[in-house]
């Protein structure tokens, strides 16, 4: 098993951040703010966040904000919850949440809550538990959870629970590891994990590990590095992570590295991207791989960042 | 981002990419100009369509299309012209179809289609046809399945018909988990509505068992049917919410001893409680988590106790309003009489219709428990139970009890456990027959093939069988399947080592159940604490050390325990201990506790005085798996709001050791052993001494 190629991954991420002309970055243009979050969080876990120009990033992030308080995926793109959370997370990484008009951003998010407690992604009404997570995570980071009806938000998430213990994007929708992370994460942040049947869900999640050691996102699907995050973080939040073989998973992730040019892919020998590089490194952090900063399984930010933002008594 | 091979592109490919990139970039910038200028002409619409057809993920363009539709529908020449309206919307549907052909996992495209259909002008006739195409191409696409549920609701297609669709899909391919999932959703609805042909559920389930067995036996390695079978099993066993045990137990005659001495040494831990006050904890333990246990759902009849003033709290490690165990305190008034006074207590769940459980099945009507409590006469001198020496957990400190005494105490216990609490008659015949039938099928499967799911399912079926038998009251410990189940889990550990700890956890629970439900086995674990001069410790100790337990269970049988030794096991969690309200001394040294947050369940134990957590792994891990299961500001739970201003503890100290702060601020220990953990250093010791004002012994040294 190879080692984690820290230097190469750092170089890879810095290069992607800069490139704006190739096909890949054009296709990804609309979610550049997500990309920034993935890249920067990875750098922070690797202990290399200082390699980027903070001021440049923050000024660009703030240009993605709209009058209503929400953020678009890039300058000129419509506001959406997906990018609003990324903006908040990026600012938290730099300990710069104070540059935000907290009231405005939190009002944008809180204003989207539906009568039944659910959240749409934006004004166009696509309801999904992903957005419940985003609303709860964002508002918790801004210390504004009291702006929404948390009870109703939790009730809606619970209504998306399935008989296999997992969660779907709307009531009746199939369980999926990504969706499970969102729901379990939202329940964790709101102190509502008692709604999770930990043994049932834990078994479903630990059975995501396939022979190669990698994790898939649903039964009878292929393994993929991004599930190292979705499945692993969920297992950690419900204290069942010991039910998988952690060493084998670490090996699978390391096998997905591009040891020449840096970056991590979905499966061994596939093309790398920032998304999977982040999930691979974050997964290794959750596996307590040596030399990496620990990441928080619910807020998806380094533990040190979360503790600083959420715990009282800043020194 | 998925499934693209990692090879350097050829020169030709590079060129092609670069042409595509510049084309896409120019489309994007044209589009953004139109969007920002709010231009909705045909030319502008064409640009957005082209953009979406080549990149359906470009979400702002879908928003733009919606704005354009709204704009165009409001034009005076369109407003009342149904045909034009329809054609505008049809154009959107066509665009979605093209976009989905490019990427049928595009959230934006599927949502756009829903948005258009919700306007109510378009025909929904084609939708199932379109879906048929997509679901054939990828039968697991969850967007398509979600959309299917949307369309069937819109078209009022009955659940029965959709259930047939899942049958077809499953017969087509047993491995279609999405179809199994949808089947569970539809069937749940049909059962809940008691639809014609779906009530009672017995016949339906008999068929479902057969159906899923067919799938499992065809390819036991395919996971798709696994979870469906487990659901069926769960539905077969979870029938109603029962009150399974209580403390004090039904029928017992309890003596409170308020002066700290046991006096009569024949008092067993099951019938005597030593307490400094005239307060008695009352614990109700249910077969599953219930909500709304309160003075209006539980009535207590006892002279001098006002039932409606009692406050009930849930005993849940998660601190929720839903729990398996509930606690209240009974206060017996100060008597000036010179003799002992006995109180009769009757606890009824008479108005139990107000009690909710996750299965939604309400508790039977007539359950009640009765016991008596003898309260000694008032004594003026106050005995300080805390002013005592250190407790030693070494083997020499314990000896075996006189067998006769133990047997009589335990017989009492087992007798109480057997008392039928709930008098509602539920017919379990179908359930038992079904489980027995399944058991023989899986035994047969295993006789021809050694497969993991076969063994695991058989283990679960055997446990389910024992559970059902215990509910019927005809249970017999002698015919329980514990040994066979333990053997199955042992096999599984070897067969599937990646999930070793899952099987070990299950194994532990069964092992404990076996030990506790068998009188002879339990006797072997009962010890007497030697030092009779130490009234602080009830001399009756349960020693479950050195059993390789990775998890604890059967808590409903252990409500009476006051001194517990769980040392030298593999415990990572103490979940479950929160119900042991009488526990005063606990030894969990030499286990695998990874953080202070793992001690959260102990916060609910008011009487805990002695705690040994030495030689664990506290502080040795960078990732804390109990972080969100412990009340703290991180999860915004009550009890997580910390007020450090008034204390002498500096807030930096709290921030640095918040886990210790979160736990120990709510404990009231006299003796604590912490050594042998990564975290134990002087800083933490000084914090603990501040947090625990009553602490006298820390790591064996006097600390005052
Ligand atoms: Zn992936």
Cα–Cα distance, B694 to B704 (Å, whole number): 9
Whether the predicted pLDDT of B386 surpasses 60 = no
- B59-73 vs B107-118: helix crossing angle, rounded to 10: 20
Whether the predicted pLDDT of B537 surpasses 80 = no
Domain range summary for chain B, segments of one domain joined by +: 174-237, 243-383, 429-472+481-514, 527-702
- Over range B645-654, report the average pLDDT: 69
What pairs with residue A215 in β-bridges?
A209
Which pLDDT band holds residue B215 (cuts at 50, 70, 90)? very high
Which pLDDT band holds residue A24 (cuts at 50, 70, 90)? confident
Do the Cβ atoms of B655 and A307 come within 8 Å? yes
Min Cα–Cα distance to chain B from A204, Å: 8
Do the Cβ atoms of A164 and B17 come within 8 Å? no
The pTM assigned to this predicted structure is 0.94
Lowest mean pLDDT among A294-303, B363-372, B576-585: B363-372
**A139 CB-side CA count, 13 A:** 28
Task: Evaluate whether B243-383 and B527-702 have a shared fold.
Answer: no
Whether the predicted pLDDT of B123 surpasses 90 = no
CA of A268 to the centre of ligand 1 (A): 12
- A226-237 vs A274-286: helix crossing angle, rounded to 10: 30
Strands (E) located in B538-618: 540-543, 563-565, 585-587, 610-612
pLDDT at A230: 96
**Nearest-by-CA chain B residue for A240:** B625
Whether the predicted pLDDT of B30 surpasses 90 = yes
Three-class SS state of A150: helix
| CB proximity B643 to A under 8 Å | no
Are A186 and A132 a contacting pair, CB within 8 Å?
yes
CATH number of this structure's domain B243-383 = 2.60.40.1220
Lowest mean pLDDT among A111-125, B118-132, B387-401: B387-401
| CB proximity A48 to B under 8 Å | no
- Over range B219-241, report the average pLDDT: 91
- Within B368-499, residue ranges assigned H as helices are 403-418, 429-448, 452-472, 482-495
Which pLDDT band holds residue B216 (cuts at 50, 70, 90)? very high
Whether the predicted pLDDT of B52 surpasses 60 = yes
- Over range B622-638, report the average pLDDT: 89
**Nearest-by-CA chain B residue for A75:** B32
Are B499 and A206 a contacting pair, CB within 8 Å?
yes
Min Cα–Cα distance to chain B from A69, Å: 17
Candidate from B115, B501, B621 with C-beta closest to A288: B621
Residue identified by tokens 């070990």 is B504
CATH number of this structure's domain A6-310 = 1.50.10.20
Number of other CB atoms surrounding residue A11 within 10 Å: 16
- Over range B300-308, report the average pLDDT: 86
Beta strand B253-257 with B368-375 is: parallel
Residues of B in contact with A270 (CB under 8 A): 2-6
Whether the predicted pLDDT of B646 surpasses 80 = no
Tokens of B119: 């306007």
Q: State the burial class of residue B182 (Cβ atoms within 10 Å of its Cβ: 0-12, 13-18, 19+).
A: buried
pLDDT at A309: 93
Domain range summary for chain A, segments of one domain joined by +: 6-310
| CB proximity B17 to A under 8 Å | yes
Lowest mean pLDDT among A161-175, B491-505, B634-648: B634-648
Min Cα–Cα distance to chain B from A63, Å: 15
Q: What percent of chain B has pLDDT over 90?
A: 54
pLDDT digits (tens, 9 = 90+) for B664-693: 988 999 999 999 999 988 889 999 999 999
Whether the predicted pLDDT of B531 surpasses 80 = no
Are B570 and B549 a contacting pair, CB within 8 Å?
yes
Cα–Cα distance, B251 to B249 (Å, whole number): 6
Cα–Cα distance, B150 to B285 (Å, whole number): 42
Candidate from B146, B182, B500 with C-beta closest to A170: B146
Candidate from A243, A267, A311 with C-beta closest to B499: A243
Which pLDDT band holds residue B476 (cuts at 50, 70, 90)? low
Phi, then psi, of B332 in degrees rounded to 5: -95, 135
CA of A269 to the centre of ligand 1 (A): 14
Residues of A in contact with B498 (CB under 8 A): 209, 213, 244-245, 248
Could you tell me the sign of the dihedral formed by the alpha carbons of B210, B214, B220, B222, in that order?
negative
Strands (E) located in B349-431: 356-357, 368-375, 398-400
Number of other CB atoms surrounding residue B80 within 10 Å: 8
Cα–Cα distance, A123 to B40 (Å, whole number): 19
Candidate from B175, B230, B622 with C-beta closest to A220: B175
- Over range A174-198, report the average pLDDT: 96
Residues of B in contact with A190 (CB under 8 A): 635-636
Tokens of A183: 């729901």
What pairs with residue A264 in β-bridges?
A257, A273
Size of interface A-B (CB pairs under 8 A): 228
What pairs with residue A88 in β-bridges?
none
Candidate from B57, B627, B640 with C-beta closest to A30: B57
Min Cα–Cα distance to chain B from A286, Å: 6
Residues of A in contact with B625 (CB under 8 A): 236-237, 239, 241-242
Given phi > 0 = left and psi -120 to 50 = alpha, else beta, which region is A134? alpha
Q: Which CATH superfamily is domain B527-702 in?
A: Ribonuclease Inhibitor (3.80.10.10)
Cα–Cα distance, B594 to B542 (Å, whole number): 24
Residues of B in contact with A203 (CB under 8 A): 502
pLDDT at B388: 61
Question: DSSP string spanning A149-163?
Answer: -HHHHHHHHHTTB-T
Candidate from A22, A76, A163 with C-beta closest to B188: A163
**Nearest-by-CA chain B residue for A309:** B634
| CB proximity A290 to B under 8 Å | no
pLDDT digits (tens, 9 = 90+) for A27-74: 889 999 999 999 999 999 999 999 999 999 999 999 999 999 999 999
Whether the predicted pLDDT of B421 surpasses 50 = no
Are B376 and B258 a contacting pair, CB within 8 Å?
yes
Whether the predicted pLDDT of A249 surpasses 90 = yes
Residue window 84-123, chain B: list those with CB within 8 Å of chain A.
107-108, 111, 115
Which pLDDT band holds residue B524 (cuts at 50, 70, 90)? confident
pLDDT at A257: 96
| CB proximity A314 to B under 8 Å | yes
pLDDT at B601: 94
Whether the predicted pLDDT of B267 surpasses 50 = no
Whether the predicted pLDDT of B609 surpasses 70 = yes
């Amino acid at each position: 098993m190879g080692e984690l190629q820290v230097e190469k991954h750092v170089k890879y991420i810095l290069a992607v951040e800069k490139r704006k002309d190739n096909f890949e970055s054009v296709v990804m243009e609309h979610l550049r703010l997500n990309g920034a979050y993935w890249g920067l969080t990875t750098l922070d876990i690797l202990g290399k966040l200082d390699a980027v120009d903070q001021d440049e990033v923050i000024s660009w992030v703030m240009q993605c904000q709209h009058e209503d308080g929400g953020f678009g995926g890039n300058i000129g793109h419509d506001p959406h919850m997906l990018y609003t959370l990324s903006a908040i997370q990026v600012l938290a990484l730099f300990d710069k949440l104070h540059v935000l008009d907290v009231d405005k951003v939190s009002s944008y998010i809180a204003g989207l809550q539906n009568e039944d407690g659910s959240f749409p992604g934006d004004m166009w009404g696509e309801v999904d538990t992903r957005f419940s997570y985003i609303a709860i995570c964002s508002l918790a980071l801004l210390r504004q959870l009291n702006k929404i009806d948390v009870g109703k938000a939790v009730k809606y998430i619970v209504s998306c629970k399935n008989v296999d213990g997992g969660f779907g994007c709307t009531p009746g929708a199939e369980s999926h590891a990504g969706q499970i992370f969102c729901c379990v994460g939202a329940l964790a942040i709101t102190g509502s994990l008692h709604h999770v049947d930990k043994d049932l869900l834990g078994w479903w999640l630990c059975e995501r590990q396939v022979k190669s050691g990698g994790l898939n996102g649903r039964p009878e699907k292929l393994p993929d590095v991004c599930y190292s995050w979705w499945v692993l973080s969920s297992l950690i939040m419900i204290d069942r992570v010991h039910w998988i073989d952690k060493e084998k998973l670490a090996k699978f992730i390391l096998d997905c590295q591009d040891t020449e040019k840096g970056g991590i892919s979905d499966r061994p020998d596939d093309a790398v991207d920032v998304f999977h590089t982040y999930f691979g490194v974050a997964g290794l952090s959750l596996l307590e791989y040596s030399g990496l900063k620990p990441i928080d399984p619910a807020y998806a930010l380094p533990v040190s960042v979360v503790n600083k933002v959420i715990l009282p008594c800043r020194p | 981002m998925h499934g693209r091979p990692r090879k350097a592109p050829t020169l030709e490919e590079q060129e092609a990419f670069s042409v595509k990139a510049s084309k896409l970039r120019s489309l994007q910038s044209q589009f953004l100009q139109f969007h920002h200028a709010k231009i909705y002409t045909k030319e502008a619409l064409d640009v957005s369509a082209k953009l979406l057809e080549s990149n359906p993920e470009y979400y702002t363009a879908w928003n733009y299309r919606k704005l354009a539709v709204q704009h165009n529908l409001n034009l005076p020449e369109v407003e009342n012209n149904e045909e034009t309206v329809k054609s505008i919307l049809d154009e959107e549907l066509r665009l979605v179809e093209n976009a989905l052909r490019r990427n049928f996992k595009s959230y934006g495209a599927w949502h756009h289609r829903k948005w258009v259909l919700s306007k109510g002008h378009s025909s929904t006739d084609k939708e199932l046809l379109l879906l048929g195409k997509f679901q054939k191409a990828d039968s697991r696409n969850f967007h398509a399945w979600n959309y299917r549920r949307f369309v069937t609701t819109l078209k009022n297609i009955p659940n029965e018909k959709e259930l047939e669709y899942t049958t077809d899909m499953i017969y087509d391919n047993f491995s279609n988990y999405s179809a199994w999932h949808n089947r569970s959703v539809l069937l749940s609805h049909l059962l809940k509505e008691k639809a014609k042909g779906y009530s009672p559920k017995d016949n339906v389930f008999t068929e479902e068992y057969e159906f899923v067995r067919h799938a499992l036996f065809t390819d036991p390695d395919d996971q798709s049917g696994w979870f469906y079978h487990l659901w069926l099993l769960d539905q077969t066993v979870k029938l109603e919410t029962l009150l399974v045990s209580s403390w004090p137990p039904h029928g017992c005659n309890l003596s409170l001893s308020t002066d700290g001495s046991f006096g009569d040494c024949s008092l067993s831990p099951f019938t005597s409680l030593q307490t400094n006050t005239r307060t008695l904890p009352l614990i109700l333990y249910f077969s599953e988590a219930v909500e709304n246990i309160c003075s209006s759902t539980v009535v207590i009849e006892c002279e001098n106790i006002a039932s409606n003033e009692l406050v009930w709290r849930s005993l849940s490690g998660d601190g929720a309003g839903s729990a398996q165990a509930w606690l209240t305190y009974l206060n017996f008034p100060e008597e000036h009489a010179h003799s002992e006074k006995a109180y009769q207590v009757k606890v009824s769940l008479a108005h139990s219709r107000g009690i909710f459980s996750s299965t939604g099945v309400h508790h039977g009507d007539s359950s009640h428990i009765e016991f008596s409590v003898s309260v000694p006469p008032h004594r003026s001198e106050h005995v300080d139970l805390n002013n005592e020496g250190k407790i030693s957990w070494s083997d020499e400190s314990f000896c075996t009890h006189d067998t006769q005494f133990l047997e009589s105490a335990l017989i009492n216990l087992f007798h109480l456990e057997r008392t039928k609490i709930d008098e509602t008659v539920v017919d379990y015949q179908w359930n038992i027959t079904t489980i027995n039938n399944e058991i023989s099928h899986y035994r047969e499967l295993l006789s021809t093939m050694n497969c993991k799911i076969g063994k695991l399912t058989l283990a679960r079926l055997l446990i389910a069988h024992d559970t059902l038998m215990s509910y019927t009251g005809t249970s017999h410990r002698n015919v329980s399947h514990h040994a066979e189940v333990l053997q199955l889990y042992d096999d599984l550990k070897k067969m599937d080592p990646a999930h070793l700890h899952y099987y070990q956890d299950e194994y532990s629970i069964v092992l404990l159940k076996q030990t506790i439900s068998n009188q002879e086995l339990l006797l072997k674990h009962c010890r007497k604490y030697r030092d009779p001069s130490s009234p602080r410790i009830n001399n009756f100790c349960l020693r479950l050390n050195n059993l390789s337990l990775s998890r604890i269970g059967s808590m409903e049988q252990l409500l009476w325990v006051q001194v517990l030794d769980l040392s030298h096991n593999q415990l990572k969690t103490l979940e479950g201990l929160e119900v042991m309200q009488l526990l005063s001394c606990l030894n969990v040294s030499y286990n695998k506790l990874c953080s202070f947050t793992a001690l959260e369940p102990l916060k609910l134990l008011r009487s805990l005085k002695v705690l040994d957590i030495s030689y664990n792994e506290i502080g040795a891990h960078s990732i804390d798996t109990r972080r969100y299961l412990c009340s703290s500001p991180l999860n915004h739970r009550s009890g997580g709001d910390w007020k450090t201003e008034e204390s002498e503890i500096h807030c930096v100290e709290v921030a640095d050791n918040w886990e210790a702060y979160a736990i120990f601020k709510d404990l009231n220990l006299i003796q604590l052993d912490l050594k042998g953990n990564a975290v134990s250093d002087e800083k933490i010791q000084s914090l603990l001494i501040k947090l625990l004002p009553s602490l006298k012994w820390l790591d064996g040294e006097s600390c005052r």
